[in-house]
Amino acid sequence: MQHDPELLRHVEATDKRSKLIATLSRWRWFALFVVAPSLLATLYYGVIAADIYVSESRFVIKAPERSSSSSNTIGSLLQSTGLGNGSEQASEIIGYLRSRNALSDLSRRTDVRGAFASQEADVFSRFPLIYQDNTFEDLYEYYGSMMTTQQDGETGLTVLSVSAFTPEEAQVLNAGLLDLGEELVNRLNQRVNSKAIEEAEARVTEAQGRVRDARIQLGAYRNTSEILDPQQQGLGVLEVSNSLIAQEAALRAQLAEIQRNAPRHPAIPALRDRIAGISRQVAEQTGRAVGTPDGIAAKITEYENLLVEQEFAEQTLTAANAALEQARVEAKQQQYYLERVVEPNMPDDAIKPSRLRGILAVLFGSLCLYLVGWMLVVGIREHASED
């Protein structure tokens, strides 16, 4: 029995088509979840994706060495800087560069929106992205993906990286951000210096009021107590008392000699009266010094307290004036400054996107997704067959 060659060829073609369809049906999910995404990633990164240039700069926040301008303990207590260390300042600068304020300030100097919407960019990486609107919030989100800052704890340097679709735009944006960082440091210095001067002036005003009050209280006490200087007046009373005591002693000696030689001498009563009078004067002078509530000894304690308060207030005023002058001197100097260790470079080669890495990432991710789905399907089928 002979077979028709045409029929045989038709049967073979049909068998091959059936096997191909069966093979494609078997691997359709693999092709859908692995092959197709990998081909699309290869097409995008290999043909469509635009070059992205990264400009990098490095800076550090420094402060000049400070020496204590006063060895006075009170002056040391009155002085205050109000500034942290350089690392804290760098953190403030980094926070500002990542903020909306930095983007707004930079946009007033440079066409940030135009740089990110450059015609050099591809449709999938150009601002606004396909899921974004042309709003400031979307621009800020996009800006965060194109600008990175990283602080090195060992060297203290801060690395600022800015991405753009042309080397010139990347460099301009990076330099603009550095300028804004320097201006922020200057503003912080000015703010802190102004605060330090205001605090020092307030201390001077307070010290002046304290000196004035102390002098008023001391003068009022002198008027009420009718005493100018207790020490000087006490010395005067002591001199008078000593003189009277000497006179009394001389008269007593004279009286004793007369009584011994002429007991009935007519001068004896007069001497006794004089001795009694001098004794009363000695007691009066002693009472002026000690032993009575109005004595000099009772007044000298309060007087010395007021005098010590006045002297301390004057010392405080002197220290406050010194601190104010020091604050004014420091205000004329830059406390912290941003030093550019590495200026923003103009990249000569695009380092983004990482094309091979992107393709492999898509391939690996889609393959993992496929394997997870395949295991789930196998598990469901096994449980269904058991049921």
pLDDT of residue 162: 96
How far apart are the two ends of the chain, measured CA to CA in Å?
51
% pLDDT > 70, the chain? 73
Provide the pLDDT confidence category of residue 273 given band limits of 50, 70 and 90: confident
Question: What is the C-alpha to C-alpha distance for residues 219 and 65, in angstroms, rounded to an integer?
Answer: 47
Of 287, 46, 257, 94, nearest to 249 (Cα)? 257
pLDDT of residue 83: 41
Q: Is the dihedral of CA 308, 311, 316, 317 positive or negative?
A: positive
| pLDDT tens digits for range 74-132 | 344 334 434 444 667 788 899 999 999 999 999 999 999 999 999 999 988 999 988 88
pLDDT of residue 84: 44
pLDDT of residue 87: 67
pLDDT of residue 67: 47
| pLDDT tens digits for range 37-46 | 888 888 888 8
In this prediction, residues 59-68 reach a mean pLDDT of 68
- Across the chain, mean pLDDT equals 78
Q: Pick the residue with more confidence: 298 or 118?
A: 118
Q: Pick the residue with more confidence: 378 or 210?
A: 210
Own/partner contacts of 286-290, CB < 8 Å, gap of 24 or more, are 286/241, 288/237, 289/234, 289/237, 289/238, 289/241
pLDDT of residue 70: 42
pLDDT of residue 214: 82
pLDDT of residue 7: 63
For 182, 260, 308, 331, the CA distances from 334, given in Å and listed in that order, are 11, 95, 40, 7
pLDDT of residue 351: 86
pLDDT of residue 77: 38
Give the 3-state secondary structure of 140-196: HHHHHHHEEEEECCCCCCEEEEEEECCHHHHHHHHHHHHHHHHHHHHHHHHHHHHHH
Provide the pLDDT confidence category of residue 153 given band limits of 50, 70 and 90: confident
Q: Pick the residue with more confidence: 35 or 50?
A: 50
In this prediction, residues 311-330 reach a mean pLDDT of 84
Q: Is the pLDDT of residue 1 over 50?
A: no
Q: Is the pLDDT of residue 68 over 60?
A: no
Phi, psi of 342 (to 5 degrees): -130, 120
pLDDT of residue 227: 67
For 159-163, 296-300, 330-334, which range has the lowest pLDDT when averaged over its residues? Answer: 296-300
pLDDT of residue 74: 38
Question: What is the C-alpha to C-alpha distance for residues 56 and 370, in angstroms, rounded to an integer?
Answer: 39
Q: Pick the residue with more confidence: 325 or 77?
A: 325
In this prediction, residues 362-384 reach a mean pLDDT of 82
pLDDT of residue 144: 94
Question: What is the C-alpha to C-alpha distance for residues 143 and 106, in angstroms, rounded to an integer?
Answer: 11
Q: Is the pLDDT of residue 72 over 60?
A: no
- The most confident of 245-249, 374-378, 383-387, by mean pLDDT: 374-378
pLDDT of residue 234: 54
Other CB atoms within 10 Å distance of the CB of residue 350: 17
Provide the pLDDT confidence category of residue 73 given band limits of 50, 70 and 90: very low
Provide the pLDDT confidence category of residue 161 given band limits of 50, 70 and 90: very high
Provide the pLDDT confidence category of residue 292 given band limits of 50, 70 and 90: low
Of 60, 39, 41, nearest to 49 (Cα)? 41
pLDDT of residue 32: 79
